[in-house]
Amino acid sequence: MAKRVGIEVSQAIAEAVKMANVDVVAAYPITPQTHIVEHLAQLVADGELDAAYIPVESEHSAMSACLGASAVGARTFTATAGQGLELMHEVLYVASSMRLPVVMTVANRALSAPLSVWCDHSDAMAIRDTGWIQIFAENGQEVIDEVLCAFRIAEDQRVLLPVIVYLDGFLLSHMIEPIYMPEQDEVDKFIPPYQHLLPLNPDKPVTMGAFAPPFIYSETKKAQEVNLTAAKEVILQCWDEFGNIFQRHYSPVDCYRAEDATVLLLTMGSFGETATVAIDKMRNECRNVGLVNLRLWRPFPFAEIRQAVSKAEVLIILDRALSFGGPAGPVCSEIKAALYNEDKKPKVISFVGGLGGRDITPDGFEQIINRGIEISQTGSKQEYEMYGVRE
Amino acid sequence: MTKPGDKMTWKDVEIGSIVTEPGSASQYQTGDWRSQRPSLNRKKCIRCGICYIFCPEGCITQNAEGYFESNLFYCKGCGTCACECPTQAITMEQEE
Ligand code: SF4
Ligand code: SF4
């Protein structure tokens, strides 16, 4: 039976990665992710984890080293945040295009300038289209569970795609939470050995990352897109099986007191936890509000999102990133697009908040919901409003 | 490669666009990039092989009579051979 232990989430990630028995970790330290790879380095140095730990000179090299390792069939892990993720950018596309199932945790961090080490989702939104499976975790337990699932999903031969598990920097990465850590034999059973279908192998040579002239490039991209979209089935199966074994259940979209709600708030990441307090308070005051938390960011869960909001009249979306000069927060834009052709759809109101580590309290969520309802009736001159900014 | 590249559908693409056939780049016709083709005047050619050495495509080979001929499946029409030939035996002619 799993034990519940008080542990810093970053350290628990390292322990989970150890239980997944990774072969190669290539990483470069960056706040607020550093504790994850620091602890992994310690585990390798102490002989507790039999893995190659490659202390590279940059995140670009970290991801490149992960690609090489994954290509020969090694189970591979890395972690980064903010600027580090941006420095990896071009290599992220190569990982997904070459079908290399690297697993990465990203402790979300705002982007410079001005320099900020604190949480928002700008880093994640900037790499949205890199072809990785992307999952936003809401609390420490979920981070650990999703990291274990990530190896299994990524390495499934029907998938063979890299996976990012996002956890809010500091808000999750540096929290000490009570976490159920699984037993080693449970993890061994849950994550089968990794076998790439066409690994780099001198006895059976292949070329990875060859060039593609115009007559074939479109076909390669279509194949990649079909593959990523189809991965959703495998993700759902993995979460089902995880739920059966560990009794914790995950789905692409989480609803909280949302079934009969006429007004819905939609969040991602750790905001979801705090917002439930506001929802409970408003429900006690007989306000008909509910919460939707988007967990699976890529592949985007169109059907689940449409279903979750179909009965609401107002949908208020809180983005933790800006799309400068754009139509709304990036998550809101996508959800608007997903709903546009639906016959019955809620009015969608866009907020941006929590940038660079700015807290939003339960009171704040209540204000956002009330202001959202107001805008739904009066309209607004702005495409989106920034919550909590001093005017 | 079971089909020529330009006949492959997305379903025929190997996972990760991985190439499993060694040396398959030799099937790639670079000759259709060409807008000019090299034409050899045998009367001027002294069979020195300088064109063969300089061709960046490596597509010039010596035939039985000792003349150096360009393989037009690969020749990109860069004109290097014509430029380097010491006797101006090669002229570049416009492709139709
Ligand atoms: S034109 Fe260029 S590619 Fe063609 S044979 Fe001459 S040197 Fe080679
Ligand atoms: S360089 Fe000119 S002269 Fe020499 S072999 Fe080639 S065509 Fe003939």
Cβ A98–B17 below 8 Å, yes or no?
yes
Closest ligand to residue B90's CA: 2
CB atoms within 10 A of CB A114: 6
**Average pLDDT, rounded, for chain A:** 97
**CATH number assigned to the domain comprising residue B74:** 3.30.70.20
The best mutation among B50, B76, B94 to test binding of ligand 1, ranked by most ligand atoms within 8 Å of the C-beta, falls on: B76
Q: What is the mean pLDDT of the segment spanning A305-321?
A: 98
User: Residue B28's pLDDT is what?
Assistant: 85
What is the full DSSP assignment across A321-341?
S--TTSSS-HHHHHHHHHHTT
- Rounded Cα distance between A266 and A268, Å, is 7
Pocket of ligand 1 contains residue B30 by CB under 6 Å = no
Flag whether B9 is in a domain: no
- Rounded Cα distance between A266 and A261, Å, is 12
Does residue A264 register a pLDDT over 80?
yes
**Which of B17, B20, B25 has the CB atom closest to A220's CB atom?**
B17
- Buried residues in A350-381 as b, exposed as e (16+ CB within 10 A): bbbbbbbbbebebebbbebbebbbebbeeeee
Asked whether the whole model's pTM tops 0.80, one would answer: yes
| Domain A3-246 CATH class label | alpha beta
CB atoms within 10 A of CB A159: 23
Closest ligand to residue B62's CA: 2
User: Residue A92's pLDDT is what?
Assistant: 98
Pocket of ligand 1 contains residue B37 by CB under 6 Å = no
Question: Distance, CA B49 to ligand 2 centroid (Å)?
Answer: 5
Does residue A70 register a pLDDT over 70?
yes
**Band of residue A199 on the pLDDT scale cut at 50, 70, 90:** very high
Does residue A299 register a pLDDT over 70?
yes
Pocket of ligand 2 contains residue B40 by CB under 6 Å = yes
Cβ A198–B5 below 8 Å, yes or no?
no
**Band of residue A383 on the pLDDT scale cut at 50, 70, 90:** very high
- Rounded Cα distance between B62 and B66, Å, is 6
Q: What is the mean pLDDT of the segment spanning A27-56?
A: 98
User: Residue B2's pLDDT is what?
Assistant: 63
**Which of B6, B13, B28 has the CB atom closest to A223's CB atom?**
B13
Q: Which residues belong to CATH 3.40.50.920 in chain A?
A: 253-386
Instruction: Provide, rounded to the nearest whole percent, the portion of chain B with pLDDT above 90.
Output: 83
Give the model confidence (pLDDT) of B28-86 as tens digits. Answer: 889 999 999 999 999 999 999 999 999 999 999 999 999 999 999 999 999 999 999 99
Closest ligand to residue B73's CA: 1
The total number of residues written for chain A in this structure:
391
Tokens read off for A99: 């079908």
Give the model confidence (pLDDT) of A204-216 as tens digits. Answer: 999 999 989 899 9
Give the model confidence (pLDDT) of A328-362 as tens digits. Answer: 999 999 999 999 999 999 999 999 999 999 999 99
What is the full DSSP assignment across A20-70?
TT-SEEEE---TTTHHHHHHHHHHHHTTSS--EEEE-SSHHHHHHHHHHHH
- Rounded Cα distance between A126 and A166, Å, is 13
**Band of residue A158 on the pLDDT scale cut at 50, 70, 90:** very high
Q: Which residues belong to CATH 3.40.50.970 in chain A?
A: 3-246
Closest Cα in chain B, distance from residue A226 (Å): 9
Flag whether B75 is in a domain: yes
Domain count, chain B: 1
- Find out whether A195 and A73 touch, Cβ atoms under 8 Å: yes
Pocket of ligand 1 contains residue B69 by CB under 6 Å = no
A98 and chain B in contact, CB less than 8 A: yes
Q: Show the domain range for B82.
A: 42-96
- Find out whether A48 and A101 touch, Cβ atoms under 8 Å: no
Does residue B1 register a pLDDT over 60?
no
**Band of residue A137 on the pLDDT scale cut at 50, 70, 90:** very high
B32 and chain A in contact, CB less than 8 A: no
User: Residue B25's pLDDT is what?
Assistant: 82
- Rounded Cα distance between A277 and A265, Å, is 13
- Rounded Cα distance between B70 and A229, Å, is 47
Does residue A1 register a pLDDT over 90?
no
Tokens read off for A88: 């990896």
Mutate one of B1, B15, B17 to test the A interface: name it (highest A CB count within 10 A).
B17
**Band of residue B3 on the pLDDT scale cut at 50, 70, 90:** confident
- Find out whether A214 and B4 touch, Cβ atoms under 8 Å: no
**Band of residue A318 on the pLDDT scale cut at 50, 70, 90:** very high
Does residue A2 register a pLDDT over 80?
no
Instruction: Please state which CATH number belongs to domain A253-386.
Output: 3.40.50.920
Cβ B16–A198 below 8 Å, yes or no?
yes
Pocket of ligand 1 contains residue B59 by CB under 6 Å = yes
Q: Which residues of B touch A208 (CB under 8 A)?
A: 16, 18-19
- Rounded Cα distance between A60 and A108, Å, is 18
B16 and chain A in contact, CB less than 8 A: yes
**Which of A206, A218, A219 has the CB atom closest to B18's CB atom?**
A206
Q: A288 in the Ramachandran plot: left (φ > 0), alpha (ψ -120 to 50) or beta? A: beta
